Amino acid sequence: MATLHELKEYVREIGELYSAVALCAWDQRTHMPEKGAEARAKVLGRLERMAFERVVSDRIGELIAAAEREGARSEVDQALIRVWKRDHMRHRAIPPALYQKFVETTSRAETVWEKAKAASDFALFRPHLAEVVDLIREMAKLIGYTESPYDALVDEYEPGMTVSSLRPLLASLRKELVAFLKELSRGTPPQTLSAGTYPLDPQRQFCREALGWIGYDFGAGRLDDSVHPFTIGIGVGDVRVTNRYQEDEPFSGLFGALHEGGHALYGQGNDPALAWTGLSGGASFGIHESQSRFWENQIGRSLAFWTYAHPHLIRHFPGLAQTKPEDVWRHVNHAQPSLIRVEADEVTYNLHICLRFELEVELIEGRISVDQLPERWNQATADYLGVTPPDDRSGVLQDVHWSGGMFGYFASYTLGNLYGAQIAETAEREIPGFWDKVQTGQLAPIREWLRENVHRHGRVYLPEELVKRVTGSGLSAEPFLRYVRAKYGEVYGL
């Protein structure tokens, strides 16, 4: 056990370095002055390299091997060895200098992406993205793969997932959703609320209230503004969320807050015993997304939720005083192909992911170039959604992920939708009076059920194993399809 104790102390040091990285990254996206970008890129590169060198060192490899030889131990200890062995072997393939270059390059690229998006100018971002893609391809080659270099990337976010397993899943889902969209067109579209102006400060207050309803602990977190909403775990007792708001639409900010709040509840709900072990966080990015999509959609877009939330909405926005809960519920469940992924409805959202998945695979496999992305994006949007972006801002520049080198991540959003629907079906069965609780704002029992069944385990279980433990079955698209068909069928009077 002495070896295991030494391994835990070693990985704690790595975790503390990553905590400093997270704090720098949060500040960069929220409060850092523009002229600090270059220095911040250098600092992030140095800190990440220090952590990276420890992850790939001979010493951690020796400790992992020795701990394995010591034999069986607790489930958590077995998971610690499994997770660090995987991370050690995966990252050992990448030279520290190359990794530092990648961190510095993506840090600069994200700053340029913000400017390029504001100016709707892909040409400004193109050389930075090209450099990121070259580095990503190089790292995928070093990590190794059997069929597609993209497999090496998606495995970072969803252990065990490959292009060959994702492509039929996404193709089948796309077919079902496109057919359902046509079915909805024969129904009665919900009447949407008239446009208005919604000041940002009341929006921020409303979102802060909503985070309180779902149980986000402000004593262990913050809510700040950013260009792209995100959640970040700084360390024990510190899981922060950011959000963005639109003056002509109060619901985008609310759903952004609920989404990020779902991520944050996962982090805040980890078993304290997992702190500094590398087992905090989520079983995978898809499982993490299941928690954000659960609160944003299954709860936040339900009629029961709006029965409770409507008086609070009116208090912040008196101009909506003539509306009823049903009016808001129908408004926020209007299904219509649109340009912006983060504002897409639940029927069309996964089509955005199918689009990005195909483009990423083509790009990483070298079948298209960075220069071709705007044209390919626009064509794919027309093919998948029947709409065409009028500019780069609402097209190829809308997401932050590529600037950060997060190729392989987007599939996690769809996997999160599927996992989330499975988990929600189980929660409805197991929590007495589930929807009565939502309708009266009693969300604590739901949060605690999730904490007990999902959150506290962190990375102890692989995603497929965790979902089977919670729901009794492996990944399936059927619960999600049942969910959207039932809800949107009611909204559209089918």
**Would you report the helix, strand and coil content of the chain in percent, each value rounded to 5?**
70, 5, 30
Give the per-residue pLDDT at 487: 97
At residue 73, the pLDDT reads: 82
- pLDDT for 228 equals 83
- Structure-block tokens of residue 300: 């936040």
pTM of the model: 0.91
Spans of the chain below 50 pLDDT:
none
- Dihedral over Cα of 227, 231, 233, 237: its sign: positive
In the prediction, which pLDDT does 72 show? 65
DSSP annotation string for 191-247 = PPPPP----HHHHHHHHHHHHHHHT--GGG--EEE-SS--EEEEETTEEEEEE--BT
| pLDDT score, position 42 | 93
CA distance 443 to 435: 10
Q: Is 201 exposed, middle or buried (0-12, 13-18, 19+ CB in 10 A)?
A: exposed
Q: Which residues belong to CATH 1.10.1370.30 in the chain?
A: 163-491
* pLDDT value of position 298: 97
Amino acid occupying residue 21: V
Report, in angstroms and rounded to the nearest whole number, the Rg of the chain calculated over CA atoms: 22
Q: What is the dihedral of CA 54, 59, 63, 68, to 10 degrees?
A: 90
Q: What is the pLDDT of residue 254?
A: 97
Q: In whole angstroms, give the CA distance from residue 89 to residue 57.
A: 10
Report the DSSP beta bridge partners of residue 238. Answer: 235
Is 163-491 a domain of CATH 1.10.1060.10?
A: no
Among 48, 110, 114, 260, the active-site one is 260
- Our answer to whether residue 260 is catalytic in this structure is yes
**CB neighbours of residue 281 within 10 Å:** 18
Tell me if 325 sits within 8 A of 307, measured CB to CB. Answer: yes
DSSP states along 263-323: HHHHHHTS-GGGTTTT--S-S-HHHHHHHHHIIIIIITTSHHHHHHHHHHHHHH-GGGTT-
Determine whether 486 is exposed, middle or buried from the number of CB atoms within 10 Å of its CB (0-12, 13-18, 19+): exposed
pLDDT at 1: 66
String of DSSP letters for 446-484: HHHHHHHHTGGGTTSS-HHHHHHHHHSS---SHHHHHHH
Structure tokens at 289: 């997304």
Q: Residues 257-272: pLDDT tens digits?
A: 999 999 999 999 999 9
